[in-house]
Each structure stands twice: as structure tokens, then as C-alpha cells.
Amino acid sequence: MDLRVGICSWTDRTLLASDYYPRSARDGASRLAHLAGEFSAVEVDSTFYALPRPENAYLWSARTPAGFRFGVKAFGLFTFHGVDARALPAWGRPPGAVGRVHREDLEAPARRRLYQVFLETLEPLRATGKLGYLLFQFPPSFRPCPANLAYLRRVREHSGSLPLAVEVRHRSWTQGRAYEELLSVLRGENMAYVGVDEPDLPWTVPPLWPESADWGTLVRFHGRNVPAWKERGASVQRRFDYLYRDEELRPWRDEALRQGGKIPRVYLMFNNCVGDQAVRGARRMKALLGLGGDSPRPEQGTLGLDGE
């Protein structure tokens, strides 16, 4: 049973301002090594905002121990979010584009090339066995329809055998026939349905966690700050400002243990990244699961490429 507990950012500015990192951890490399000494997985959030540089994934792999895993958020353009035009390479930027660029602003060949470039930047993680999952987190405007189901199939078509995870963010996906069709596509394409813990509101996704992929499964904890989620225009930091209690985590612990007995790997990732609250939640989940000093240590000799 491979249960992995981690957090969804190691560079969040409020985490850096907390007392989680020792004073000796002054740069990204030492902070990542420190985190990898306590947790067995972390999520890369920066890839949502911009294509990573080719050397980034190489360094992430080199700075973490064998057995560590990274979840990577797909670039926002591939999940129907607007992205800063400056985040696109010159050849992929629509002529005269300024401000936000959306998927429909690009021709299909440019979109396909951008996606292949994105995957190529992650190759060091895949080659060293450290790519835990590639997360497609869609916006609430991404609703059930044949076109969106077809898009999920195309994502798989262009992703080879990578471990893909899909997070939908509107309740309509979890109701009736829409839910059945979504699970049918995910299971057919070996994509993990991402369970979410978040406030129970008319538009949010309920705490469902079905099995849909043979490579593993994933749940993300967004916090339960109901007033902030109801507040129009509330910042991401305000919405995720929440500290979990043990009684809120135990049902997920029980389901993780159940699923962990049947599938290879279970990720429990804390996204309430305000101060050290994600770290504290992840620590409590580790304790509830009975995971002690089982995280890989922060020393690593080689990248494991080409038989090293």
C-alpha cells in the first residue's frame, strides 16, 4: 500500500513567511530538500501559470530523493483558463496579443505544439519515475457536454500513457447521467477522478472519490472556509484560509486505506496553502494514517537516467 501525503506548493509566499522552513533553507533547492525530508509528494503549481523552462524538471528531480513524487498542474491554457500572453513563447503567441490569451485564440496546430512542448519539459520527471500525476483542474465554467467529454479523450490521445488526473469544479458533473458519462470516459481513458474536500455549497463538488484509473488516485483538500467561498471576489488566499480538524480528515483517511488496498498509489494533497496550514493538515493526515518516518530522505546520488 503506497499512501502519499503532501502539499500543493513549496514556494507559496505565505508559507515562506511562516516558520516552516529553517533559516538555513534560503533558496528553492534547500526548501524542496527540506520538504522532501518530511513528505513523499508535492504539487507543482507554477506550471499552471507558465510553461516551465526545460531545466526546471531536471532540477526538481535532482534535488529530491529516489521515490519522491511530483504532481504537476497542467498549463492553464489546456484547462480553459486565460493565461498571460507573456507566458507563451513568441511562436505560440497570437499576433498582437496582450493581456489574457484563451485557448480559442490559438489555432489548433499551435495548441498541439504547445502541449507537446509542455510535455517535453516534464520528461526528466517521467524518465526518473518522479511524475506522480499530471493534473487537469478545470474551471467551474467547464460543464457537462459532449464537446468537453471529447476534449478529455483528446487529452489522453496526446498524452500517451502519462498518469492523468481530472478535477471538475462544478456540481453538475456529479449529478445523474453527467456523472455516469464522466466516469465512463475517465475509466475508458485511465484518468483519475480527483476527489475534493471543499465547502458544501450549491455549485461546489461533493466529497465523492470514485476509482477510475489503474495507476492510482488523488484527493485534494481545499479547506472549508464557507464564508470566504460565498464572498464574491474573495481572493484565493482568503478562500483557502482554513485549518483542518482530525474529525474532518478521518473519513478521507478511511477511504484512502480502503482504496489503497486495491490500487497502486493514493495521493492526499493539501491545497489550503495559507501560512503553514497545508503542512499542518498534511502532518495530521500522516498521523491518522500511521505514517511516521516513512518519507524518503533528502539525499540522492543520481537522477536515475540511462541506467544510472
Residues sharing a CB contact under 8 Å with residue 301, sequence separation 6 or more, in sequence order: none
CA distance 290 to 36: 18
Q: Residue 4: CB partners within 8 Å, gap ≥ 6?
A: 40, 41, 69, 132, 265, 266, 267, 268
Please give the average per-residue pLDDT across 86-100, as a whole number. 88
Average pLDDT over every residue of 150-155: 98
Whether 75 has a pLDDT exceeding 90, the answer reads yes
Radius of gyration of the chain (CA): 19
Average pLDDT, the chain: 92
Report the pLDDT value the prediction gives residue 301, as an integer from 0 to 100: 34
Q: Rounded mean pLDDT of 83-88?
A: 92
| Residue 294 clears pLDDT 70, i.e. is over it | no
Alpha carbons 272 and 238: distance in angstroms, whole number: 10
* Domain edges within the chain: 2-295
pLDDT digits (tens, 9 = 90+) for 36-58: 999 999 999 999 999 998 899 99
* CA dist., res. 55 & res. 124, Å (int): 9
DSSP 52: P
Residue 307: the pLDDT is 34
Parallel, antiparallel, or unpaired for β 265-270 and 217-221?
parallel
Q: Are 2 and 263 in contact (CB under 8 A)?
A: no
Predicted local confidence at residue 98, as pLDDT: 83
Which has the closest alpha carbon to 74: 194, 174, 229? 194
**Residue 277 vs residue 297, higher pLDDT:** 277
pLDDT score of 304: 41
Which residues sit opposite 267 in a β-bridge? 4, 218
pLDDT at 156 over 80: yes
Beta-carbon contacts of residue 73 (< 8 Å; ≥ 6 apart):
43, 44, 45, 47, 48, 135, 137
d(CA 259, CA 253): 10
Least confident span in 87-101, 158-172, 271-285, 288-302: 288-302
Ramachandran class of 239: left when φ > 0, alpha when ψ lies in -120 to 50, beta otherwise: alpha
Q: Is a pLDDT exceeding 80 seen at residue 296?
A: no
Cα–Cα distance between 141 and 224 in angstroms, integer? Answer: 21
| 210-222 confidence digits (pLDDT tens) | 999 999 999 999 9
Q: How many CB atoms lie within 10 A of CB 157?
A: 9
| Percentage helix, strand, coil for the chain under 3-state DSSP, each rounded to 5 | 40, 15, 45
Pairing outcome for strands 131-137 and 69-73: parallel
Q: Assign domain 2-295 to a CATH class.
A: alpha beta
Distance CA 28, CA 109 (A): 35
Q: How far apart are CA 109 and CA 42, in angstroms?
A: 32
